Amino acid sequence: MSKQELVVLAQDDADGCCGRLGSAPLDEDQAGDLAKVFKALGDPVRLRLLSMIASRAGGEVCVCELTPAFELSQPTISHHLKLLRQAGLVDSERRGTWVYYRVLPAALERLAAVLTAPQAAEVNA
User: Which residue, 39 or 79, is less far from a copy of itself as judged by CB?
Assistant: 39
- Select from 2-10, 38-46, 76-84, 90-98 the region that touches a copy of itself (CB under 8 A): 38-46
Question: Is residue 21 within the footprint of a copy of itself (CB under 8 A)?
Answer: yes
Contacting a copy of itself (CB under 8 A), which of 7, 10, 24, 72? 24
Question: Is residue 41 within the footprint of a copy of itself (CB under 8 A)?
Answer: yes
Q: If DSSP codes are grouped into helix, strand and coil, which group holds residue 96?
A: coil
Question: Is residue 69 within the footprint of a copy of itself (CB under 8 A)?
Answer: yes
Contacting a copy of itself (CB under 8 A), which of 14, 15, 44, 58? 44
d(C-alpha 79, C-alpha 73), whole Å: 10
d(C-alpha 15, C-alpha 19), whole Å: 9
Q: Which residues contact 31 (CB under 8 A, 6 or more apart)?
A: none
Q: Which residues ranging from 87 to 116 are in contact with a copy of itself (CB under 8 A)?
A: 103, 105, 108-109, 111-113, 115-116
